[in-house]
Amino acid sequence: MLRIVLPTDFSENAFNAIAYAARLFKDTTCIFYVLHAYTPPIYRVDYALGSPGQLGLPDDHKYAAEQALDKTITRIRSKFDIPKHEYVSHAAFNTLEDELKSFVNKENIDLVIMGTQGATGAREILFGSNTVHVFNKAIVPVLAIPSDFGFIPPKKILFPTDYEVDFNKAAVEFLLMLSKLWESKIHVMHVTPPAGLSSQQKKNKMVLEKLMKGSAHTIHDLPDQELIEAINGFQEEVPIELLAMVKNKHSFLERLFIEPVVKNIGLHSKVPFLVLPYNP
């Protein structure tokens, strides 16, 4: 059984991600936790002292959130009547990233699936700020679904890597599980620097090849170029349905989230993006 968190801000983009999750795991027994984290527009003294419920005061924000969550679950059940799926609502006064961090530990969560942008997200921005914060703090895989992305089975998965990580310490097993579920082919893509691979990179590559031995995959060694250019170029040659990367300390992802270049990053990916955590 998979335990999956579906964060929502009640936007259509968020519901689209929930619908994607239902389709992606239509044949898998799942518990979906539909989660909404809220902070009142005016930070009242009763919130500073503790939750209003603890003080015997009405919490209008929590009540409104719970009602909206119930409506969301009713809507998704009416759209996808899948007996293997159970939905549980969860509303909390907290920031999304902090609530997810505690909730993932408490409920032994396997995956987070969310929309890339909220109701007011600008379309030219690849990842909304909430998504970036969740990517940064996540200790489980996070799957981000682009706005208006209709479900397409992930038959071709692009997995760029620099071989700088020990794949025994990355959540590669989740990627392999997903590829087996949909009988997908994983395209491992490496941009080869002029100096070639270091001895450690060669060891890491061998570990990855061993892990992928039972899965359909192809390894692509591309000539030296910028990673974003390589990803964009590859997608033009081989249309993919899912992009997956490991978030390690020195990866492209880390630079993407630290440097203020999100608006003009130039990554043209319009497919779901799976970020795999790295726990050295």
| CATH superfamily of this structure's domain 156-245 | HUPs (3.40.50.620)
**Lowest mean per-residue pLDDT among 116-125, 150-159, 170-179, 249-258:** 116-125
For residue range 176-217, what is the model confidence (pLDDT) as tens digits? Answer: 999 999 999 999 999 888 888 999 999 999 999 999 999 999
pLDDT tens-digit map of 149-159 = 889 999 999 99
**Where do the H-state alpha helices sit in the chain?**
12-24, 45-49, 60-79, 96-107, 129-137, 172-181, 199-211, 227-237, 252-258
Q: Do domains 2-145 and 156-245 have the same CATH topology?
A: yes
Domain residue ranges of the chain, discontinuous segments joined by +: 2-145, 156-245
Q: Which CATH architecture has domain 2-145?
A: 3-Layer(aba) Sandwich (3.40)
User: Using CA atoms, how far apart are residues 258 and 24, in angstroms rounded to an integer?
Assistant: 31
